[in-house]
Structure 1
């Protein structure tokens, strides 16, 4: 009990001392913008495709690969809910060729190279015995063979990785 009280007191003293250095400068918040003209009213854009675009909540462009990894909000956010995809741009006539990778909490692109990206995925599942949500992290390699003349791939592969 005495040891934990001393530890808390020491931690509080250290935190208080951190903010008292003579060389520290207070950073001012940026000033709010001042209007310089009349406002314009903008109406709702109800194009159907914008509903899907507005669902995108995370995106990692891969410009060297003419691709991107992105996630859309869906499902139960307490247990995953980030539907994750990789998409390859096929040009103005074709648009994007999209492949679903899965339903995760989050993703991180670890590395990318022609024909391959390495991803770290965080996901959760409900433990059958306890009923509690258990989180885990795993890695995968997404591979593909580009089509002729750099066209998007017809298929991709997903391989577990260490």
Structure 2
């Protein structure tokens, strides 16, 4: 029996590596080829946990070409939750902390090698705001019938809350 090729994974907003730990505990064979986080302290902990320091800086400066070079099968995304919390200002996608997530979604349509899978984690309420609607529309553009050359297509988006 042939062993499947491990997924190549990009981890955005990596923090201390919670999404990476979840992926590892799922039993999926995966290799995180790069992680991204702007927080220096979180990157220190991530480096301690995994032996690799995430790329530090504003991910809004990334280009489609930057992301294409990783040829990642999957992306793990845990964008800032503050724009969507019920107790916060509820600016949603107008909050500057949401801009990087929107930028990443917009980059997908210009990529030669977009991810095949996206795993997004956020707070209850995220699913009803513009960022999720933009997320859904980008999935339709990137993974729609024209991009995968099939005549009958249905985009499925599963959201889970706890």
Larger Rg: 1
- Higher share of residues assigned strand: 1
Normalising by structure 2, we get a TM-score of: 0.23
Normalising by structure 1, we get a TM-score of: 0.23
- Higher share of residues assigned helix: 2
